[in-house]
Amino acid sequence: MFTAEGAAIELDQVAKRFGALPVVASTSLQIQPGTFVSLLGPSGCGKSTLLRMVAGLESSTHGTVTIDAASPSAARRLKQVAMVPQQPGLLPWRNVQANARLLLDVNPRTTPQHHPDPRELLAEVGLGDFLAAFPHQLSGGMQQRVALVRGFALGAPLILMDEPFAALDEITRAEMRELLARLLQQHPATVLFVTHSITEAVHLSDRVLVFSPRPATIVADIAVPTERPRPSDPEDHPAFIALCAEVRHRLHQGMGR
């Protein structure tokens, strides 16, 4: 049912309203296993709500979400969905290694038998010497690397990221993009990635979904055909710049400019 390369996701006329306020307008969408999809839109447009509905943390007012033929809450119960939040959310009383294991340790009965070794993952992201360090001893970038590893350690076919690099400085962000791309080559999964950064979206994604202001609707679905592994300095390539320009135009169109 769940493939190693990632989960297939289907949204069928999914809509969400908070009371009288429509947040997500009827949205239908199909995502192939192993695809990296960015959700790009103005802030407060409802894309995070959409992400939370896929995670099973929020129910839809209308329509259905399916993750490899299962409901989001069923997938959540089987630990098939890994979240990487905007704030690292590390537990200050757990050291790096214990934080990386957190999602495995919680509800251990449902932990999948085959999952990557968190220690190996930590070594892959350059934290092999920091297993016993505590979060307060780490820089913001290092903390977010632990949060990435915590997500990947579950070995889930679907990874949901809600602006995971938004709080980092530009240099660290570029580093984290590289790191994420490398991790995904080793440990493939379907990724939904909420972001405000056009270059980040184009650099990382196979598909960029551009959203309108609230209530969220998809105004453009742009494929990024660049082969992987991608160059680490995408800004040097005219094709990359052209794609970024297209995404930016569609974003502004969607915002009525």
Partner 1 sequence: MSRLRTLAPVIGLVVFFALWEAFVRVREVRPFVLAAPSDILRYINRAPRDFFDASLVTAQQALIGFVGALLVSIVIASPLAAWNFLERAAQPVLILVQVAPFVAYISSVVLWLGSGDPPARFMAGLICLPGFVFAAVAGMRSADPASRELFASVDASRWQVLWRLRLPSAMPSLFTTARLNVGLALVVAYLVEGSNFADEGLGAIGKRALGQTIGDAVWATVFCMVVLGTLGLVVIGLLEKWLLHWHASQRSGAPSATQRAAR
List of residues contacting partner 1 (CB under 8 A):
55, 57, 73, 76-77, 79, 81-83, 85-89, 91-93, 102-103, 105-107, 110, 129-130, 132-137, 154
Minimum distance, C-beta of residue 132 to partner 1, in the bound complex (Å): 8
For partner 1, give the closer residue by CB, 25 or 127: 127
Minimum distance, C-beta of residue 138 to partner 1, in the bound complex (Å): 8
Cα radius of gyration rounded to whole Å, the chain:
18
For partner 1, give the closer residue by CB, 85 or 188: 85
For partner 1, give the closer residue by CB, 108 or 225: 108
Q: Taking phi first (over 0 means left), then psi (-120 to 50 degrees means alpha), and beta for anything else, what does residue 223 get?
A: beta
d(CA 51, CA 24): 11
CB 172 within 8 A of CB 145: no
Element (H, E) at 16: strand 9-18
Minimum distance, C-beta of residue 225 to partner 1, in the bound complex (Å): 32
For partner 1, give the closer residue by CB, 107 or 253: 107
d(CA 154, CA 256): 41
Within the chain, residue ranges assigned H as helices are: 47-55, 72-77, 96-100, 102-105, 118-124, 140-152, 170-186, 198-204, 238-254
For partner 1, give the closer residue by CB, 104 or 220: 104
For partner 1, give the closer residue by CB, 31 or 159: 159
Minimum distance, C-beta of residue 156 to partner 1, in the bound complex (Å): 9
Question: How far from the centroid of its chain's Cα atoms is residue 30's Cα?
Answer: 16
Minimum distance, C-beta of residue 130 to partner 1, in the bound complex (Å): 6
Residue type, 108: P
Minimum distance, C-beta of residue 57 to partner 1, in the bound complex (Å): 6
CA angle in degrees (0–180, nearest 5) for 58-1-107:
55
**First vs last C-alpha separation in the chain:** 44
Residues in the chain: 257
Minimum distance, C-beta of residue 95 to partner 1, in the bound complex (Å): 9
For partner 1, give the closer residue by CB, 144 or 205: 144
